[in-house]
Structure 1
Amino acid sequence: MTSLLQIMLLILDVVWFIMIAHIVMSWLINFQVLNLHQQFVAQIWYGLNRLLEPLYEPIRRILPPTGGLDLAPLVALIAIYAIRIILINNAAAFY
């Protein structure tokens, strides 16, 4: 059962990394460091969006509108971190 816990933590770590990459890339695009007219950048951006939109969309429906500020990634990061804490604190149940 320890391996099940480790697999779940690995999945959370991968999602965490993908979300951080998406957040940093969105900043770089907004500050015009990256250009979406470059094919490689556009493919990565659209791929990350397709991966993360199913995660962000339910959060966006719950959050109140904040104008141009999207808080869904922040809420998702906090939720993933909270799930990780819960799993680690209840690791004894996996033994």
Structure 2
Amino acid sequence: MGRWNAPRRSLLLVHPDGAGSKATNEDLNLFFALSPDYAGIAKAAAGGNLWARQASTAKQLDELLPEAIESVKNGIGAVLDAHLGGPQGKYPGERNVNVG
């Protein structure tokens, strides 16, 4: 889970004992539950001309890596965003990218 701590550090430098110092990152909206969809962003930036997928388990990675390699061999770039967070993975369900 991502955290952006620069605003918290700035707050603490100015008001180290203020109310904000006791607030959680969630209270301050400095918390992001999911990582960005890097594969989707890359595919959109490529105008859809990119093989882009996400793998959340080792099994998915094993299945998708040969596809990524084949895409590159065929002259189409590939982005395989792997977030392996145990048997269930980081992303619930299927999150393959199908842009454009």
Greater strand percent: which structure? 2
Query: TM exceeds 0.5?
Result: no
- Select the structure with the greater relative contact order (CA < 8 A; seq sep ≥ 6): 1
Larger Rg: 2
For normalisation by structure 2, the TM-score amounts to: 0.26
For normalisation by structure 1, the TM-score amounts to: 0.26
